[in-house]
Amino acid sequence: MEHGSVLIHDAKLIDGTGGPSRQASVLIEGERIAAVGTEADDRAAQMPGVASFNASGMSVMPGLIDGHVHSTFDNAAGHDELFYHRRPGMAALTAVPNLRRMLTSGLTGFFDADSLYDLGVDLKEAVQCGVIEGPRMAVGGYALMTSVGGAAGRLMPDRGTMAYARMVSGKDEIVAEVRRQIKLGVDWIKVHVTGSFAHRRAEGEFITFTMEELRTICDIAHDFGIPVAGHCRSAKSVKFACEAGFDQIIHGTLMDDAAVDALVKHQAMLVPALTFQANLAEFGDAIHASPVMQDLFRREIESSAEMFQKAFKAGVPLVCGSESGFSVTPYGDWHYREMEVFVKYLGLTPLEAIRCATEYGSLVLRMKGQVGVLEAGRLADLIVVDGDPEKDVTVLGQRDRLRMVMLGGRQVDLGRPELERKPLPEWRTHDFGQILTKPIVESARAAQAAGQSLR
Ligand SMILES: [Zn+2]
């Protein structure tokens, strides 16, 4: 990575605030943006030997910030993989190339919501201290759950830890765990406010903490200046969490008007993380997802769009989150995708959607005013893309259009090839596909025969 003064000139500048784009130059000195517009050109003219980058026909904008990533999951196919196929050392090692892959896709910051074995803090510090290369990170540790668990039902133990979660029972355990994580160095406390049982799926998610427990978490965390993020789907759980003092609501796909009002009143930010559902709904056929499931996810996005829109219009910071770390949301490929979903389903303009992945992203990164907007004085986290994201945000997902990624004034080497990854022993769950019943074989053979007779 190169460090020094650079003038990026003749670019279309999208500043990340949602305001109008313009043709303008950006001058970077050291780790910061020194000037923007004619002042950048004037100052650069006084600097003999300043490097210049001709970005004519290209766009310059803040680097993308992803408000929801699991950097230690290594594109897991499901709970079984995370619970029974992961080891701490290898989980940290696989995160190394995954972090670099995210950075070279234009991601300059992300929120690691919860991590296997509390690894988030170590990864963040390894990046900060130059041990490994990656985007800026804000991290949670173990997700807090009660013994009734989160999305994995009975697979969760009643006590202790499992993969990315710690079970807490009663006030004493809650207080101890929140304090332990704060000592370790988390930037957020992540809580599974709701959870579901496979045997009672039709009833949706239940609130798994009492109000008193949720208040305890927030009180302890806030005493140390640490905000709290909660996985909540139902309207009631969003209201409950806001009232308890939560600072960030994750998902919120079943909100009603009162839940949106609660977000506004308590000034909480909202990270829907719809990319997971959108990828399955729109591209799931490519990986043999069932049409029934695809339809279910499409309906979940469509039915939640109105309340997300309403929250955005009411000034709730709506933040793009990709849920990267699962097999349907692999690192480096989909960090632009939430913007596309916000444009397509929520009716946001591309510039508004970009704001959700830049300026609003800086809130989840806990770097408000320091990154996320292209203006003088901020850290120089930016990207140059050959194309116009204001017309089509999907150009931000095309690696071959990415001309520059800059993190804190240093240009990331986009030319270095990635290592070829081969399967790690016992790392993935084995899957033979569908259950091979005789009728399935017979109908497949019949279809084959019919296909041949047509030719
Ligand atoms: Zn998640």
DSSP for 327-346, please give it.
TTB-TTTSTTHHHHHHHHHH
Q: Averaged over 155-174, what is the pLDDT?
A: 95
Element (H, E) at 206: strand 206-207
How far, in Å, from the CA of 247 to the mean position of ligand 1? Answer: 16
In the reported structure, the alpha carbon of residue 68 is separated from the centroid of ligand 1 by a whole-number distance in angstroms of 6
Report CA(336)–ligand 1 centroid distance (Å).
17
**First vs last Cα of the chain: how many Å apart?**
58
Residue 451 CA, ligand 1 centroid: distance in Å: 43
Q: Give me ligand 1 centre to Cα 67, in Å.
A: 10
Going from the Cα of 253 to the center of ligand 1, the distance in angstroms, rounded, reads 14
Over residues 88-101, the mean pLDDT reads: 98
Cα 2 from Cα 31, distance rounded (Å): 11
Which range, of 51-60, 267-276, 442-451, averages the lowest pLDDT? Answer: 442-451
pLDDT (0 to 100) of residue 186: 98
What's the length of the chain?
455
**Percentage of the chain exceeding pLDDT 90:** 87
Residue 408 has pLDDT above 50, yes or no: yes
**pTM of the predicted structure, to 2 decimals:** 0.95
pLDDT, tens digit (0-9, with 9 covering 90-100), for 103-129: 999 999 999 999 999 999 999 999 999
pLDDT at residue number 145 = 97
**Distance in Å, CA 251 to ligand 1 centroid:** 9
pLDDT of amino acid 3:
64
Above 70 in pLDDT, residue 20? yes
CA of 28 to the centre of ligand 1 (A): 35
In this prediction, residue 455 carries a pLDDT of 55
**C-alpha 430 – ligand 1 centre gap (Å):** 23
Summarised one tens digit per residue, pLDDT across range 235-256 is: 999 999 999 999 999 999 999 9
CA atoms of 222 and 181, how far apart (whole Å): 13
Pairwise CA distance, residues 384 & 263, whole Å: 34
Give Cα separations from 203 to 193, 199, 304 (angstroms): 16, 9, 18
SS3 labels along 275-319: HHHHHHHHHHHHHCCCHHHHHHHHHHHHHHHHHHHHHHHCCCCEC
pLDDT the model gives residue 235:
97
Higher pLDDT, 152 or 401: 401
**Higher-confidence position of 290 and 278:** 278
Angstrom distances, CA of residue 58 to CA of 382, 388, 404: 13, 7, 11
pLDDT of 198 reads 85
Quote the mean pLDDT of the chain.
95
C-alpha torsion sign, points 39, 45, 51, 54: positive
pLDDT, residue 201, reads 85
3 state SS of 353: helix
Q: Residue 454 has what pLDDT?
A: 60
Spatial contact of 274 and 341, defined as CB atoms under 8 Å apart: yes
Average pLDDT over residues 314-325: 98
| Alpha carbon of 388 to ligand 1 centroid (Å) | 30
Structure tokens at 188: 């957020």
Measuring CA to CA, which residue among 69, 79, 13 is closest to residue 325? 69
How many Å lie between the centroid of ligand 1 and the Cα of residue 70?
6
382 backbone dihedrals φ, ψ, rounded to 5°: -150, 165
Residue 432: its pLDDT value, please? 72
What b/e readout covers 208-219, taking b as 16+ CB neighbours within 10 angstroms? bbeeebbebbbe
Q: pLDDT, tens digit, for every residue of 215-233? A: 999 999 999 999 999 999 9
What is the Cα–Cα distance from 158 to 149, expressed in whole angstroms? 8
Ligand 1 center to 3 CA (angstroms): 34
Q: Distance from the CA of 407 to the center of ligand 1, in angstroms?
A: 25
Query: Is 25 in contact with 36 (CB distance < 8 Å)?
Result: yes
Averaged pLDDT for residues 332-360: 98
CA–centroid distance, 452 to ligand 1, in Å, is 46
Residue 178: partners with Cβ closer than 8 Å, 6 or more residues away:
144, 189, 217, 220, 221
User: How many whole angstroms from 113 Cα to the centroid of ligand 1?
Assistant: 6
CA of 63 to the centre of ligand 1 (A): 21
Task: Name the band, by pLDDT with cuts 50, 70 and 90, for residue 435.
Answer: confident
Q: Comparing 163-172, 271-280, 286-295, which segment has the lowest mean pLDDT?
A: 286-295
Q: How far is the CA of 201 from the centre of ligand 1 (A)?
A: 19
Do 7 and 23 contact (CB within 8 A), yes or no? Answer: no
Distance, in Å, from the CA atom of 124 to the CA atom of 108, rounded to the nearest integer, reads 13
Instruction: State the pLDDT at residue 439.
Output: 85
* pLDDT surpasses 60 at 1: no
